[in-house]
Structure 1
Amino acid sequence: MTSTDVAAAASAPTVSHESDLLRFATAGSVDDGKSTLIGRLLYDTKTLFEDQLSAVEAVSAARGDEYTDLALLTDGLRSEREQGITIDVAYRYFSTPKRKFIIADTPGHIQYTRNMVTGASTADLSLILVDARKGLVEQSRRHAFLCSLLRVPHMVLCVNKMDLVDYSQEVFDRIAEEFTAFATKLDVPDLTIVPISALKGDNVVNRSENMPWYSGCSLLHHLENVHIASDRNLVDVRFPVQHVIRPQTSDTLDYRGYAGQVASGVIKPGDDVVVLPSGFTTTVASVETADGPLEEAFPPQSVTIRLADDLDVSRGDMLARPNNQPRSTQDVEALVCWMDETDSLRVRGKYAIKHTTNEVRAVVKELKYRLDINTLHRDEDAEALELNEIGRVKLRTTKPLLCDEYRRNRETGGFIIVDEATNRTVGAGIITG
């Protein structure tokens, strides 16, 4: 890390309208109450429309339920409502005076692991539910491991259905101790454990009078106040170019801007940058948006950058600091989650790789092992990856990728795998080396 990078990190903004948004993903085993919890959050924060609530009440009455089933607010597919399970990733939005939220309600079934990976890949926080009556089950550990693998910075364990165990502190302490012991084997930088009842509303939005032994805050209070601004990489400048802007009007013939989303770092006018892969250096002339110029840009802002020199820059190129560049390599080692139902990943298989704004072709050179995410055992004799399986593979790309390790930069360390024949997304990978 250079002195310039340290200065950039020190001068980086700490408060912005972007930091007011928290993305979190729910996970857990079947019937742990994920959808009910989200419905409770929406209901108690008064972010429901009257017609939404009326529709849920009507469906609940038609099914003969004695209560309004708030889970129906997120189980939007007809097949989900009929089976009483979550299949697809349901995204819901709500806000409080302190923060805006995007929720990814992910499935609990083992056959929908790929959906859970999709929902958690962009999350700032993972919210894992366990049934107080059942304690930790295989899916609880599976989802905790996947969230750790995806480097989700914050994790909350909600011990749900406390009303069905008479709000027992002994039950809660036993589950909390067991999960904490398991989490020590994972990379979990921030863990919070909250006893709740999603059905009754205990400790969801307001503190519960039924659990006076619990001294922590409610779930919503934690979601509103968890600090996420420092989770972003504000040191390594990475700006993948998405589009070259060349207006064809008489007064803007000389305008050339490079549009994209700041993946990491802080970019300001006057900064020295290098254009990759060409290696030419220049300085930032201006940072602009539709609302006007900015003094600085930081993730995840979408901006247009103008350079002091007229260089050959196109989609797929990347701007970085001259003394702090991403790795340029054609040999990539990654953990891959396979998502295709029809075909498996095999050695010598050929695919398209979409990484940041770049797209290259690649061949699987080696499958080092398949990972059992329940036992963390490595099967080094595996010959293929099937649906929902995770393994470590070596890829050889047709041209270099400009990448970082995923643990350092989630944006430049992740990619998706596409079947060239069908254009289906068949896998997702995180770069390990």
Structure 2
Amino acid sequence: MPADLPPMGCADRWSWLQRLRHQPELVAEDWLAALEAGVLGADQDLLAVLAERLDPPAQLRMLRWWRQQAKPDPALPAQVLRHLDGASAAWLLEQLAAGPAALAAELPPAVAAALLPLLGHQRQRQAWPVLQAWLQAPIARHLRRSALEGVARGLSVWPRAQLRVVLSALAAGLDTQLAATAVDLLARLPGARRALVPLGLRQLDPQVAERLGRRLAAIPARPLLLVVHGRMGGGLPAELVALAAELERRRGAPVRLQALSALAPPAPQELLLGDLGDQPLTLVPLLLLPGGHVRHDLPAIARHWAGFARLQRIPFLGAWPRWQAALAVELAGLGPRDSQGFAVPLLLHHPLEGPLAGRYLATLERRTGCRCLATPYSAEHLAELQLSLSAPALPLVLAANRLTDQLADQVGPPLLQRPLLHQLLLAELEALP
């Protein structure tokens, strides 16, 4: 019984608590009532024994009692709250939901600092906005660090895209400890390179930059196979050759081009080191439209390489949301929209057939604000277009070809020669696993 517990400092107290710990049945109610009545103090050694035996309702009862104390011990909640429990999570959320504004009212900073990590530990998705508010507020550093600890404890349940944005901003911030922890958390996320690589382009604290380098070194990049159209006979445009070389330099892993027009693919030994079949390989189709190459040739290429490596396939470039968004920006720079009385910019693309093509082009028009115009590359059609083209136009081709050569004055350079699109593609490819 609680009344039999030897007082602090008594030589028998430790052995008495050990016997209590190993009792097959312990009536928590008696001990909770004694604590609430002030008969017992919330001593660390006693709590260490009781916490192991508290069920979720009992742990919540302890938290409520703790919150009512004039000077609550900041260590108690972490010691007592061991179960993932909806009621306890709801109580924590209630205490912290008002955000840092509650500090000016009834929420002591020490209480907030004790509860923020536990809110994340409960792994309730609805806690994310609350933790985010505490993390981004201009408040004392120890409170922001407590919020970040909460984020770390529930890392797997938070909205991934929002989490990357918040952690990336922290990594570039002035608080070195927060920034370093943010880098570590980004490194724990699936596809960590996508978030870590762009950080290398930002101005970071030297210690944080060093940590970022270590984290990236621990996530080696896979070899990349870039599938491209190529030219007759398998020739490769200079823009694509330069892109592959720069990627290989940045990633520190082999990058090769496979032209659809080539007679044979690259030799596996050019891409894969060590035992064939055990190496990872990422296949990236740098193709802009869902034509026959995407629907028929790519599956055959994938089957070929799957015989040599553990293959990961990336969707074709034209389907990437970030690429489509960049196209929209590039098109917006060509001229005003028809809402102001001007022609809608044109996106000149190779002709496509079939219902899939129609759906894709309609989606592209909706997302970029352009009008897609099928453009055959025959001399006759290009000559006619050269005379009739009046609206601003963007050629939907990565590298220079007959379209951009013959209509250079009207459509400008191919996409890889445009800085925005070139840098985006380079960054996206560099960040791949």
The TM-score, its normalising length taken from structure 1, stands at: 0.24
Q: Could you say which structure has the larger radius of gyration? A: 2
Using CA pairs under 8 Å that are at least 6 residues apart, name the structure with larger relative contact order, 1 or 2. 1
The TM-score, its normalising length taken from structure 2, stands at: 0.24
Structure with a larger share of its residues in helix: 2
Structure with a larger share of its residues in strand: 1
